[in-house]
Structure 1
């Protein structure tokens, strides 16, 4: 029996029409599946409704990926694919397996010789990098920085030093309700000539993307970032 395929289905970054962020062939593929492994079932159902899946949502087989899945969890989720059933992997937002626990399922799929098929869709990290004007030839994503103020400021300075040494764009994110504190930490910790890009609400009507040197950020009012998904990028010289 042929094994099924694991399709990596990008999810909208917010409440925008799927036609604006989801290519037609990706939507068609998602509508053809009836088995999904997801980060959050509620979010996945909303996305499948947005994609106009033809089946009643209650009839779809939607299983959540544990936050820290063990081997037995991964094998259980992939068992239907071993039997020939295709599956869709969906994150809570953006591209699955990028800054997302779905990467573990993808890794296990490769170990089980299951074909993995990435589909095109919105990635907040790449969209932010594209629009930042910073170095797209050398970049690194660091996820979340420490919550403790002293540790966070130290990490920012370390990333700035590394950025200057390698001409590397550094990307990171923060829990939306702490965005303001992250912005102030960057404005106060980075050197005047370091460029900072703040990209929030990507693909939404409220989208805002601004790149300035730290010296110039200090001359302007702080942006309203409260509870708005934001990507921060720095490039030092």
Structure 2
């Protein structure tokens, strides 16, 4: 009689605070129990096998978890494997790519019965961050996928924007070249005004000011523009107004644009 098969482990999608890399040097981050629900912290503390966007930031997150909920294994004993570098630069949502085979290999501990966590540097993994290939592979292998509760900057920004929250699209980054960027922003504006669909985009923090200037220069004066900066941080700030109001009221000066930001276009 053959031995029963080892039950598969589960894959937990573990959200992390939005403050990664955004807390000024010398300041202490907010206590984790103020940022994540207790159940999320309990599950994170119970895991010993991880797939991470960045191992260093994953360890920093686990160190903060340990201050609230004792880790099941010491930090040095945690098994943390990073997603391939190409997933960071080009994303990993290409079903026909070699990334799917790599993702399946990353899930080998779950096939051996270990529960696993998937984390990104900030927020919810696989949303505006790599990780979708791992989730897709888990479904293909019959591994249960469980998303845990935590912050998602795109949804927080949309809720705070006053823009259409029942029809929206996340479009990621726009081109850096000024002419291409202007053309792309006008295309997104046209779609938003024609259909009512809110367009959500992001940028690397050091280019936030340039993008906001381009938005004000490229969009129609009566298009609504919202910008949410530093979500989840003490300095968080959201402004939403027509483009002509952004200019006349100098709203840009009120935003901490050096912090991570989400930009929204609509009507």
- SS of the aligned residue for 2:81 comes to strand
Match of 1:103 among 107, 127, 132: 132
Unaligned runs of 5+ in 2: 1-5, 20-28, 88-98
5 Å-filtered alignment, 1:178-193, equals: 178-193=207-222
1:8 corresponds in structure 2 to 13
Q: 1:59 aligns with which of 70, 77, 82?
A: 77
The CA deviation at 1:21 is 1.7
Pair 1:200-2:205 in alignment: no
CA deviation profile, 1:152-195 (whole Å, cap 9, x unmatched): 00000000000011101100000110000000000111111111
- How many angstroms does 1:17 deviate by? 2.2
What stretches of structure 1 of length at least 5 have no aligned partner? none
| TM-superposed deviation, 1:227 | 2.8
Question: How far apart are the structure 2 equivalents of 1:134 and 1:6?
Answer: 34
Q: Give 1:39-188 correspondences, 5 Å limit.
A: 39-52=53-66, 53-54=70-71, 55-68=73-86, 70-188=99-217
Matched, 1:228 2:259: yes
Secondary structure of the structure 1 residue equivalent to 2:149: coil
Deviation at 1:13, TM superposition (A): 0.4
Shift of 1:72: 3.8
Moved over 4 A (4+): none
- After superposition, the CA RMSD in angstroms is 1.2
Among 27, 31, 38, the alignment partner of 1:17 is: 31
Q: How many residues align?
A: 236
TM (norm. structure 2) is 0.85
Q: Does the CA contact (< 8 Å) of 2:174 and 2:201 recur in 1?
A: yes
Taking the aligned partners of 2:167 and 2:144, their CA distance within structure 1 comes to: 29
Instruction: Return the match for 1:218 from 233, 247, 256.
Output: 247
